[in-house]
Structure 1
């Protein structure tokens, strides 16, 4: 784990002191689960469940905040079992799926979410024609119920395909009153008004948080970073963690701490757990 400045070290110490009131928010892909070519195979890190259960005993709550559909994240993360163990310790696990449009918790074990956005079905019908025109017909299109994601990772030159597709999909989305969330070799189209920053503020308000840690790896986490920065400016103990890799460093310049992928995230959470416990010994 690498602090980006002396401010990062100071913020770490403040979060440890306030750990009993801290909410820890975690992205899924690239943060708790390694990035893989097939999104359906992005299972949570083997050690993550045990680490989250230990962490939950030392903080106000743990929350997974992801662009994935909630049910998909529950399955790939084994999060219902993790939630059982956290609940047995008298704490809660929260899951915000589809950037916060869907919610699940270890105490309210059903996924709650809105209807699909108006315009999404028409967007999906028009999408294949756009992909063919841009020589990207083989892109993997993932329907999420409340959103649709176009993955370029499997294409021969995924970076070039991404650059060709992004402005065209932004224009098509705009015509249907939808918004675009670009990520690592993926362009997601969904309804406006919800993002990970809103999820952060919801957690703070509902849990009366006295501190916040957020770990993410990609552009979709920027709104969460922005929300945490506002909390820090208001005097709350906070920490921003970038899960970085050779192919992704979008958040490094914004983070207080940089760690090497999911392995590094789990090492940081173990350290937070240990130092938080030591403050109460």
Structure 2
């Protein structure tokens, strides 16, 4: 493993020693699932289910924290089945959807969700006209119940379209009392207030965890990275993993280690689980 600094290696070793008191937070897209042009066709990496089960045996808890609707991420990630296996082994898997506004766990197996934010319906009624006006009528619009996401990945010049739309959608969202979450060639409009950092801290505190690991890949994970930094400042052992890509470099400088996409994330987590098992194995 190639850590960016000597401190990163030390943080990893401290978490291996403290694994039973550690919570692991993971984004879905770009971390557990490869990025694809059609977000409805995403699926968990083939190694994902096995690694999550192996990791759950060693840590206090695992939380998948995603901008996707909870039920959609559960289906695409086969997390119902993974959760059953984890539960049978005496552990629990959490899924926090729509940046933490929705919640599911392998213990309850029920999604708890608030009502859609005020203003979202009015924003969506204006959205087609905004897209046509800014030469992005063919952008893929993903309605998420509590939010709407505009993907530019399928357009002829995805980056230029993204750059044109971001200030326009930000201004419109503000008029309707909504917030904007930029991502990898996607702009999400949703209720303000909740974010991945708050969701991660909630799970960390609920589980009585000490250490924390978080793996993310784009701007939607910035708040979670900040929350991990705050926990580190408070004395918790903490590790930040960036699932690297050519599209998004914003998290690299904040990270302890950069890996190559979901395959790299899962290889690192598998190694962590095995290192923790070896350290905590009973002596003969």
TM range (shorter): over 0.9
> Aligned residue pairs: how many?
281
Secondary structure of 1:28's aligned partner: coil
TM-score normalized by the length of structure 2 = 0.98
Partner residue, 1:256 = 256
**1:225 equivalent in alignment to 2:220:** no
CA distance in 2, matches of 1:2, 1:245: 16
Unpaired segments ≥5 residues, structure 1? none
CA distance in 2, matches of 1:215, 1:21: 18
**TM-score scaled by length of structure 1:** 0.99
Matched, 1:275 2:270: no
SS class of match (2:230): helix
- Shift >4 Å, 4+ stretches: none
Where structure 2 has 5 or more consecutive residues not aligned to the other structure, the ranges are none
The residue number in structure 1 matching 2:36 is 36
**Residues 227-246 of structure 1 aligned to structure 2 (within 5 Å):** 227-246=227-246
CA distance in 2, matches of 1:203, 1:190: 22
2 CA distance for matches of 1:39 and 1:280? 40
Q: Report the RMSD for the aligned CA atoms in angstroms.
A: 0.6
CA distance in 1, matches of 2:120, 2:247: 30
Q: Secondary structure at the match of 1:136?
A: coil
Deviations 1:41-80 (A, max 9, x none): 1100011000000100000011100000000000000000
1:140 and 1:258 map into 2 onto residues whose CA distance is 30
Query: Deviations along 1:241-280, whole A, 9 cap, x unmatched?
Result: 0000222322111101110000100110011001100111
Report the CA distance between 1:205 and its aligned residue.
1.2
After TM superposition, list the pairs within 5 Å mapping 1:1-281 onto structure 2. 1-281=1-281
In the TM superposition, what is the alpha-carbon distance from 1:204 to its structure 2 partner?
1.3
CA distance in 1, matches of 2:85, 2:7: 35
